[in-house]
């Protein structure tokens, strides 16, 4: 794992498939487990999916919360 991979989980979207456009960090655990059974795609995407599965499986996805981009709130 590269240090920047955690940041990429909350900024990179799934490029294809049922969850196209959803952030890698927000993919359902069952979908990640399906990839694990079928085989992760090669390269960076596969590495990110595998990392997201590890975090999900071990209940650690909340570690990504501080890394998520902040949406500015409108003055009220």
Contact call for residues 24 and 14 (beta carbons, < 8 A): yes
Has residue 75 been placed in a domain? no
User: What pTM did the predictor assign?
Assistant: 0.87
Domain containing 57 equals 5-66
Q: What percent of the chain has pLDDT over 90?
A: 82
Has residue 12 been placed in a domain? yes
Has residue 73 been placed in a domain? no
Has residue 50 been placed in a domain? yes
- Contacts of residue 70, defined as CB under 8 A and 6 or more positions apart, other chains included, come to none
Here the tokens at position 67 are: 């890394």
Q: How many domains does one find in the chain?
A: 1
Is pLDDT of 6 > 70?
Answer: yes
- pLDDT, tens only, 34-62: 999 999 999 999 999 999 999 999 999 99
Has residue 11 been placed in a domain? yes
Has residue 74 been placed in a domain? no
């Amino acid at each position: 794992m590269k240090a920047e991979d955690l940041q990429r989980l909350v900024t990179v979207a799934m490029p294809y498939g049922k969850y196209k456009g959803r952030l890698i960090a927000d993919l359902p655990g069952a979908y990640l487990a399906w990839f694990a059974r079928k085989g992760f795609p090669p390269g960076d995407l596969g590495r990110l999916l595998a990392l997201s599965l590890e975090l999900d499986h071990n209940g650690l996805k909340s570690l990504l919360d501080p890394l998520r981009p902040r949406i500015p709130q409108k003055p009220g």
